[in-house]
Amino acid sequence: MEVSWETSVTDSINTIYLLFSAYLVFVMQLGFAMLCAGSVRAKNTMNIMLTNVVDAVVGSLSYFLFGFAFAFGGGSGSNPFIGTQYFALKDIPSSSYDYSFFLYQWAFAIAVAGITSGSIAERTQFSAYLVFSFFLTGFVYPVVAHWVWSSNGWLNPASTSLLFGSGSIDFAGSGVVHLVGGVAGLWGALIEGPRVGRFDAFGKPVQMRGHNATLVVLGTFLLWFGWFGFNPGSFNKILVSYPNSFDQGNWTAVGRTAVTTTLSGSTAGIVTLFGRRLLVGHWDALDVCNGVLGGFVAITSGCSVVEPWAAIVCGFFAACVLIGLNMVALMLHYDDPLEAAQLHGGCGAWGLIFTGLFAKEEFVIQTYNSGNVGVTRPYGLFLGGGWGLIGAQIVEVVTIMGWVSVTMGPLFYLLHKLRILRISSDEEIAGLDISSHGGYAYNAYSEESGPQRYGDYLRLQDQS
């Protein structure tokens, strides 16, 4: 059947839009790398940079071989829990998916492992990164993605059988991406324990600030830039017009989504700025950067279905969640160098709940029913939409936490028992760069006294 030139042009523009969004999301890997590098001590910079590269390269193969199939595979054996088709991209392109869609979803998948890496930074054996990154990207994350984003997933808000008549709205992944990565990091950090010296003999926290605020700020702005592909790009298609409207379509929703993303992150940054000023007595750039990211994480679920004013509410409470969870973490002697579990896990969970409270019916229909007239469906509880949506949101939060806990928890515990999870105290004190990677990231390294070359480190080891 011959395709009209209008259809060809529309498909081409939609493909370009999706590919460009994929490139933006991939830029977030650079943002993660800069943020992580600046947030650790100088003696561990090379290690954390390498783990970010490993997350991308290992995740690429894992997602190609298994992950995409588990997430989006359909076919005769399809089911609401896990996909069963498209292993190693067999039968791609298909009537449902093409290579551009795979690339976009791959960029999401490798971001999950980057989140988890931050929680266990500065004390983890490099081989452990290889294992958990492959497993998380190839199996744990794709199963959750199938539940929420696959057309036959049991939580999908556009499936034929809607949970509570609604399905769970997690448009760009507050739960699917961020909560998964945050809970995985939580278990890794709990099983490993705090870094050497993080708490003194009396149990009081000892500050271990990152060594480079410049890299943290640079990473934050790169992540902000990439989030414009993460959230607006999740429409997948931009040339979709709404019925009975000559001037509205996905292109208007894309713009609104970018605005809500910006407002939430900005609000969270401001609240964190003043909140931390009241708590610690000074203006802290690093805390503000994490606050901004917490606002982005929270709005990622409902960015396409809420009004701009609601995004400000989202960002305000996201900052409160982050500040509160950081205080609880210190009281419980929990050590997460990048606050990844608190930021991505806590703010991701809040984002899902927020969507269930503030989603607007008109925007929900535009996003999941292409704006079809006459369609009704549950929406935000605070806007009069009933309990269906908020119920589905709560189910997603609980289910993700349970799934990641029963998969990643035992994996980290097994690595711990096999003695391939945490490095020795001597190696940790010397720094992972010199003990595992042959030298420091910087030529002029003066953070603390120690061996300056890998050969010096080996000689000290022989003498001890």
The tens digit of pLDDT for each residue in 389-413 reads: 999 999 999 999 999 999 999 999 9
Average pLDDT for the chain: 91
pLDDT tens, 135-178? 999 999 999 999 999 988 999 998 878 888 889 999 999 999 99
CA–CA gap between residue 109 and residue 63 (Å, rounded):
7
Q: Would the CA dihedral through 104, 348, 159, 376 be positive or negative?
A: negative
Do the beta carbons of residue 238 and residue 254 sit within 8 Å? yes
Note the pLDDT of residue 296: 97
Overall average pLDDT of the 361-390 stretch = 88
Overall average pLDDT of the 275-288 stretch = 91
pLDDT tens, 57-107? 999 999 999 999 999 988 766 789 999 999 999 989 988 899 999 999 999
Going from the C-alpha of 75 to that of each of 94, 161, 237, 463, the distances in angstroms are 11, 18, 23, 62
Q: Which pLDDT band, with edges at 50, 70 and 90, does 237 fall under?
A: very high
Note the pLDDT of residue 104: 96
pLDDT tens, 433-452? 888 888 888 875 555 555 55
Using alpha carbons only, give the angle 309, 313, 315 rounded to the nearest 5 degrees.
110
CA dihedral 224, 335, 315, 227 (to 10 degrees): 20
Overall average pLDDT of the 421-434 stretch = 90
Note the pLDDT of residue 324: 96
User: pLDDT at residue 454 above 60?
Assistant: no
Note the pLDDT of residue 109: 95
Overall average pLDDT of the 29-33 stretch = 94
Note the pLDDT of residue 328: 95
Burial class (CB in 10 A: 0-12, 13-18, 19+), 84: middle
Note the pLDDT of residue 202: 86
Burial class (CB in 10 A: 0-12, 13-18, 19+), 46: buried
Bridge partners of residue 422, in order along the sequence? 124
| Percent of the chain's residues with pLDDT above 70 | 94
Note the pLDDT of residue 449: 54
pLDDT tens, 320-341? 999 999 999 999 999 999 999 9
Q: Which residue has the higher pLDDT, 454 or 329?
A: 329
Secondary-structure percent of the chain, ordered helix, strand, coil, rounded to 5: 65, 0, 30
User: pLDDT at residue 3 above 80?
Assistant: no
Note the pLDDT of residue 139: 95
Q: Which pLDDT band, with edges at 50, 70 and 90, does 387 fall under?
A: very high
Per DSSP, the three-state class of 335 is coil
Note the pLDDT of residue 371: 63
